[in-house]
Amino acid sequence: MLISYKLYIAEFESEVSLLKTNYRSRKSLGILPQKVWTIPVCYDSIFGVDLEEIAKEKNLPTSEVVRLHSEAIYKVYFIGFLPGFLYLGGLDKRLYIPRKTSPRQHIQKGAVGIGGEQTGIYPNASPGGWNIIGNSPLVFFNPKMEVPCFVSPGDNIHFVAVTHKAHQEISSQIKNGTYSMESEVRYG
Amino acid sequence: MVEILRAGLYDSIQDLGRYGYQHFGVPISGAMDHYSAKLANAILGNTDHAAVLEFTLLGPKLKFHIDTAICITGMVSKPQINGESIENGRYALVKKDDVLSFGKKKLGCRGYLAVMGGFQTEQVMGSRSFYGSITNQQRLRTGDVLQVSNMPVKRNRSNTILKTPRSHFESDKLHVFKSVDFELLNHYQRNVLFNNKFTISKDSNRMAYQLEETLENNLNSIITAPVLPGTIQLTPSGQLMLLMRDGQTTGGYPRILQLSEMAINRLSQKNPDEKIQFKIVIL
């Protein structure tokens, strides 16, 4: 656990012991309702620039790579590295693939990739070394909102394959503010 | 208003950073050298957190469209108002249409320009610090116009001066604390860290400083964990990554050392090829 504090905190020792007491007295909250977010992803070759290569490497048809990736339910462990970047657990072992040996200078906003044993979504354009298999039109980080990420650690997500046309439609709905996020609540 | 007539090598607006959003993956950002930024604000009577203009190696050329007071700190690079030299660390009056320019760098790497009341650029998540995907701009461009506050100027302050000691730029000693993964290092590696000098690499920027020398190791990656500005990570290829103010919020390399706040400030004034050495602080 990381706790940041201001250098001029007055009573350091007593603050630390208070935190330790709180930590020791923590109780289980039982089973919390969990959100499962539906994340549309277009896996067309226009976005999934590394899909063919992964399919070849893994000796699977591309449709099978897409099926394995979009069938799983992923757990959001935390948000880190870059603003709005979700650390997801639950990638099918058959899709583990090392990062590219030399990273790309420009990866598109919304790119969905696989790096080692993890899958993730680039919330903004950035350099990166992951293998790119698709693109999601959703906005994963909006600095103008009080809560900049709609997904929270502990939530679950699953990817749903959509066509290029649907991807474009969702993009424009997001721009107009008419898109509504899909999620369901599960217990346990 | 202040107009950028000609942008410098890398200019941005910074305050002391964006706190409370790291759990969304948002870096803290802020002035690389807090010491110099605070000094400039203190001389003008601003709050610590007032936004300043940070410039790197080659400063910008600016025009003031307002009467105000300024102070320049950090990198020493012969600042001039309408061609007349002014001193670093001194309270200086500027008038409407005055032009501020900078000469060649003499000492340090990053300079700070504070204006009375601070720069009033957009505030996002409690901070005006520029950062790519958070603020509209990552760096200032020629032609940008910056709002400044309209505070009345105190005219009798021009004797106020605070000199930055040369050691701030010239000392090669950086104080460090053991970080959480320090114990993974063997005796040989600790000896190298604390007895050798290291050279600043060209791959050094607001996100991280890197060093030319490597430290051979066979440490495994750690489970991705929080990192801070000043965290020193050791990669499997032996590279030492000294995270700076725009550093990412989490990382998967062992965190072996943590720079003191003052060490981050001093490192921010170092240029490629300069030497540094680590001095451990035992708590």
- Give the span between the Cα atoms of B246 and B41, in whole angstroms: 21
For residue A79, the domain's CATH number is 2.40.100.10
Q: What DSSP designation does B34 have?
A: H
> Both tokens of residue B164?
């930055």
Using a pLDDT cut of 70, give the percent of chain A over it: 98
> Both tokens of residue B32?
């690389």
> Both tokens of residue B62?
């600016």
Q: How many helices (H) and strands (E) does chain B have?
A: 4, 20
Q: Indicate yes or no: CB of A4 within 8 angstroms of CB of B224.
A: no
How many angstroms separate the Cα of A50 from the Cα of each of A64, A77, A97, A107? 14, 25, 11, 12
How many angstroms separate the Cα of B197 from the Cα of each of B80, B185, B193, B278? 36, 18, 8, 8
Q: Whats the size of chain B, residue-wise?
A: 283
Asked, for residue A21, whether it belongs to a domain, the answer is no
Min Cα separation A171/chain B (Å)? 19
Go through the domains of chain B in sequence order and give each one's CATH number: 2-165 (no CATH), 171-280 (2.40.100.10)
pLDDT (tens digit, 9 = 90+) per residue, B216-271?
Answer: 999 887 778 899 999 999 998 899 999 999 999 998 889 999 999 999 999 999 99
Nearest C-alpha in B relative to A7: B261
pLDDT band at B178, cuts 50/70/90?
very high
Is the distance from CB of B139 to CB of B53 less than 8 angstroms? no
pLDDT (tens digit, 9 = 90+) per residue, B29-52?
Answer: 999 999 999 999 999 999 999 999
If one compares B224 and B189, the residue with the highest pLDDT of the two is: B189
User: Residue A188: pLDDT above 60?
Assistant: no
A7, A82, A144 member nearest B25 (Cβ): A82
Q: Is B40 exposed, middle or buried (0-12, 13-18, 19+ CB in 10 A)?
A: buried
User: Rounded to 10 degrees, what is the CA torsion of A16, B251, B207, A104?
Assistant: -160
Asked, for residue A58, whether it belongs to a domain, the answer is yes
Instruction: Look up residue A188 and give its amino acid.
Output: G
Q: Is B36 exposed, middle or buried (0-12, 13-18, 19+ CB in 10 A)?
A: buried
Q: Indicate yes or no: CB of A143 within 8 angstroms of CB of B27.
A: no
Min Cα separation A187/chain B (Å)? 25
Q: Indicate yes or no: CB of B249 within 8 angstroms of CB of A81.
A: yes
Crossing angle between the packed helical segments A62-71 and A51-58, to the nearest 10 degrees: 100
Chain A, chain B: beta-carbon pairs less than 8 Å apart = 59
pLDDT (tens digit, 9 = 90+) per residue, A11-33?
Answer: 888 988 999 999 899 888 777 77
Q: In chain A, how many domains are there?
A: 1
pLDDT (tens digit, 9 = 90+) per residue, A62-72?
Answer: 999 999 999 99
Asked, for residue A2, whether it belongs to a domain, the answer is no
Asked, for residue A6, whether it belongs to a domain, the answer is no
Asked, for residue A25, whether it belongs to a domain, the answer is no
Q: Which of A1, A4, A13, A146 to mutate to test the interface with B (most CBs of B within 10 A)?
A: A4
Asked, for residue A12, whether it belongs to a domain, the answer is no
Q: Which range of residues forms the domain containing residue A183?
A: 31-187
Report the pLDDT averaged over residues A85-110: 90
Q: Indicate yes or no: CB of A81 within 8 angstroms of CB of B125.
A: no
Q: Is B132 exposed, middle or buried (0-12, 13-18, 19+ CB in 10 A)?
A: middle
Task: Count CB neighbours of A60 within 10 A.
Answer: 16
> Would you say the ipTM is above 0.90?
no
The pTM (predicted TM-score) of the whole model is 0.90
> Both tokens of residue A131?
């293998």
Chain B residue numbers touching A141 (CB-CB < 8 A) = 24-25, 133
